[in-house]
Structure formats: C-alpha cells, structure tokens
Structure 1
C-alpha cells in the first residue's frame, strides 16, 4: 500500500510539473506571434504616417500607433490570466464624455496608455528571446533524448547533436542522460523565467490601476478610521449622558419620592384630598424614576462597565421577554468599544426577537475564536427577517462594520432564525 501511495504521489507530481511546463511554454511561445504582428503593423503605420504627415493624412496613422498598446495590453492581460489563473484588471478608466473625440482625448491623457505602449515595445524585444529560449532548450533536450533512435536511421550510425557526438550505443546512452539533465534544467529555467515575465507584464499593464487602487484603499481606510472615531465619540457621549442622569435626575427624583412620603406623614387624618394628591404625586414620581432607570440602563448599562460583557449579556438574556438561554465563554475582556458594540448588537437582536419573531425560546452564545468575538442569536420563531424591512439589521451591520466585522443572517420563512456576528478583537 505504501508503494502504491508513493507511486500515485509521484504520478501526480509529474502531471503537475508537466502542466506547469506546458503553461510556461505556451505563454512564452505565444507572445512571439503577437509581438511580431504588432511590430509589423506599427512599423507600416508609423512609416506611412511619417511620410504623409505633411498632408495631415498621417496624423491619424501616428495616433493609431500611439494607441496600439491598448489592444496589445488587453490581449496580454488575457494571456496573463490564462497563465496565472488570476484576473488582471484593466488600468483604464471610463471616458468622462461621450463620442470618439472624448474617448481619444481621455486615452491619450492616461498614463496607462503610455505604459502599455512601453510594454508593447519591450514585449517585441523580449518575445524574440522567449521564443529562442523555449525552442532551443526543448529542441536540444528532445534531440539528446532521442539519440538512440536517431542512430538507427543514420547511415553511418553516427549522430551529432550540437557539440555532442555519439558513435556507439554507450555514447548514445550517455547523451540520453545528458538530455534528461538538460530537460530538467529547461523545466526550471522556463517555469521560473515565465513567472518573472508574467510579473513584469502584470506590473507594467496594471501600474496605473495599482496606484489608483492604493489611493482608493487609502481613502477607504480614512473613512473607516473616521467612522470609528465617530462611534467612539458617540459611545463616550452615551456614557456621559448615563452618568448625568444617574447622578442628577435620578437622585433628585429619589429625593422627591422621599419628600412626598414625609409630606404624607405630616398631613392630618381628615385631610383626605391632600393625601390622595400626595399619594398620586408619589406614585407618578416612582413610575418616572423606574422609567428613568430603564432608560439609563439602555443607554449604557452599569453591569457592562463594572462587570464586563459576559455578565451584561447574561443579565440581558435574563431580562428578555422571550426565554433566552445564555452561553457565554469569554476568557478576558475586550476593549470598551468592542464590548459596547457587541452588547448593543445583542440587545437589538433580542429586541427584534421579542417584537417580530413570535418565538417561544431563544439562545444567545458568545465565544472568542482567537481572532475575534463570535456572537450568535438563535430563535425558534416564524423567520422571514429581512435587512431591508426596517428591523434594525442594517444598523447592526453598520455598527459592526466599524471594526471590520461581519453580520450574517439566516431566516427562512417559517424559521428558525440565526444571527451570526463576527467582530475582530484587535480592533
């Protein structure tokens, strides 16, 4: 069994090496006719254009030569995709206007057009060397490997391959060994050289695109950092409001309830109307205090600040209108911003469950995977949740996106519903 396994691995490696060599050969050899056609056409057009430039007839021909790198670049990007298996994007941007004149003006002003023209010139020179390298290496290898066969058809039984000669079967066997070595060297040379050529072509044919992409990525990075700063400021403002309400309005309402209680004790037994008014005012103050406490808890719960995310999620599950089982595994506390985002995502998810799902039970789990937090909220409701239906799912995605996180929702009609949220811990 071991021998068979090694045999299969060897065959697989041989097939992979043969396929790699074939791709390299096709890529290098295929560039030669393309470069030859471009060189011939460009030479004819440029010569004719220069000869007739005084009559203005040659201006379009010269312009065509200047733009001739565009079609060659498109062909080369297609060949690069076939060789590397990776799409090579065009560096050209759409013309701002309509019509041939706007397109022509835009293309002549693009740096990508001139990079493609430079690549076309370089390709013509390099493709000759590519073709010579491939044909020379493979022809020499094939000739050396077939030396015994060539001796059979030689009138005198003598074969000369380059600087090698074979007058006997022993010398022919030695040349076969030499051919094997030359084939191995050709394989290494051609495959690695083709890779270098492909990198050169990719660099020159996407140079402007890479610069534009880098600028675009930088702008995206600035926007993400700006949004993160806004969210940090927003969370800080929430905590300030929570402290102000807790230390100010809540304390005054508590004092008011106590004062009304003392006022009720001071009233005489016969003053029934005044007692009822004081009792009503005290009850309204207690209701207002309870609502204010709930509001403060929703703004930024004290449990989250004092005891961390694990305790806050367990408390949130216990207070849910739908029975929710909490499964929280968190070895250490993440940053305050990640804690707040995770908590409010869970809070919104449980609120949606209570309002829209008609579920009878749910499950909330949180775990750390090493690269980030994974929050899952599951219910056995009717499903059919849609991010576009105004259920707050878009808000969840926006809040998580600040940290580079993702939100995935599975909610087929009829249920169940699963909300899967991933937030990087390193944010």
Structure 2
C-alpha cells in the first residue's frame, strides 16, 4: 500500500476501509453492542427496582429498601466503566462510597450523574443493543433461510420473524435471503455508529467531574514526568553500557596494538604490519559499534527517508508480513518521529517473537495536533505488559511525550496497540 492515502468521500482515510480492518471493526461493534446490552439489561432492572423502592416508600418500606438502591446503581455504573475502559481511555470511578439513600444520591454530583446515566442506558442503550443484536441475528437467519425453510412447511407461517410474507416456494425463500442481505448491509453501515451512540452516555456521564479530572490530570502529569526522567536515566545507562562494554574496549585494544606495533618496529619490523592490521580492524569495529549506539539515539533513516520510509524499512525487515499505511502531511517533531519509530520497532519485534501472527498492519495518521499510531496483528493475543513483553518500555516512551497507549489483546487475538502522541509545534 502506498505510504500516502487520500481521504475518502465518507470523510475518513482510505486505509480505514481495508477489508480486514473493516471486518474487524464490525466484529468490534457487535461485541460492544452485546456487552452494552448486558449492562443495559442490568440498568433496566435497576430502574425497575428504583420504581419498586419508590412505591414501597408509600407504604413505609422505603427506609428498609432505600439503602440498597445507591449501591446497586454504583455497582452497575462500575461495570459499565470497566467495559468502556477495555475499549478506550480508562474511566475512573468516584473514590468515595455511594451515598446512603436515593435522595442523597440525587444531591451528590457523582451519584446524580450515575442516576442520569442509568436512565439513559436502561432505555436508549437497551434499545440500541436490541436493534444491533436483532439486525445481526436476523441477517444470519434470513441469509441461511433457503437451506432449511422446508422444515417449517407444516406451520401456518413458514417465515422468519421480520419477514412479512409467507414462504411457500423457493422464490419466496430466495426473497428472504435477499432481505437478510439488506439487514446485513444495514448493520455494516450503521453498526459502528450504534455502538458509539450506545457508549456515548457512559463516557459523558460516568467520567470524573471537572475538579476530579483536574486533580487526576495533575497526578498523571506528575507520574508522566517521573516516567520521563526514569526513561531518560534508563536510556543514559543503556548508552553508557554500550560505550563501556563495546566501543571503549575496542579503542583500548587499538591503543594496545598501536603500542605493540611501535615497539615491534624497533625489534621485528616484519611483525609490525600484522599488528597494525589488527589495530585497524579493531578501530573499524569500534566505529561500527559507535554508529549502532548513535542510531539507537536517533535513527538517521528518519532524517534521510522520513517517517513513512523509515517505517517501511522496519516492515521490510520484520519477521512477519507487515503492511504500512502512513498519511502524515509534513513532518512532526524529531522526538515524536523517533518515538513512533521505536514503538513500531519494538511492537514488530514482539509480534515476531510472541504472537504467532501471519500478518501485521501499521497505520499512522495525523489528525490536527495529534499523531495516531495503530498496530494490529492476527496472532493468538493474550499480550500482557506486566509479563515482560516490552509493552512497559513502549508505554514509558509514549507517556514521556504526554501521549496515550491502549492495548487490546484478548485470548485468541487479535492484538491491537493504539498510541496517540501530541505533535503540535
């Protein structure tokens, strides 16, 4: 695929419409809708319980039942926060326990937002989840209907649920299959939008309030600064070890060989030539190791070929088939390009070593003042940054630039690494 891709008429990048990426996005949308349907059913049940508590208050049972309602609302909200955090930026819940009763919940800032989310998700979220799941189930049922419809002949209405005509011959059964294709197309077009719309109230209402978000941001910046200093110190130690263990030893060997050659010229001139040759080889090795250290600081290929060319070179040397799609108008800061380069290099190394993947995709986009990097593979999944997979080092590099990293790697795959880096001037 070319390094630069034009925008499509739909307003996205053409690389986003790669068949493999599109199919994966549809499966993700279905998984989001089904997961949201689960929490929406819980939210609907909580609404019913709240209504029961309200009615119970009229006959004196309110004091007995009221304390359970805030805990139920908080528990369901936490399940939704965990679900949304698996598919995007982490949503942190309140640090304080839920209020004592419904009235205190409505008066509390976090509790009131959770109650509003409960109502929206238990109604609109439930409807969207049912619509998405119904589209998929009925599409599969209708498309396969010509294979098994004759088993329904003894019934009065041999047709699937959404089909409004009776099937009595093969042509009518084929029409059901066509109707199923229409339902499938509707999900392809509207499924991802339904998933985003279902998740929007949770991301809007379950996120921390402004003051909490500001304090979290300050804590995050402090942690980022500490991580950046730690990453810088680690990098300095790596460079020091490389120079001390490699280049310095080579240069010491050159010095020793030159001294021996100088003494040999006075005693045995014929042996001096061999020592000078060995000294030259040691000097050449020292230069090669020095170049390797320099490339580890800032790869010259970035300056020579740009980000697209540098990533294409990494893909060509990768242990798995790798497709690179870069659309970055202009140049970003050298540190941002270097971080992107090292993230891709480390990720491709991990894929080749651990994922058992056959194919990987690297997609880079610049949206305004942010550089978006997405690395996907079709391997076995199960990547965990706490098990020495190299993800921790990638995260430190990214957070040193105040960037964000999200890893999605369910058992069985696929694995997706999403990185966002600020690249404004």
Please give the TM-score of this superposition, normalised by the length of structure 1: 0.42
Q: Which has the higher contact order (CA 8 A, sep 6+)?
A: 2
TM-score of the superposition, structure 2-length normalised? 0.42
Higher Rg of the two aligned structures: 1
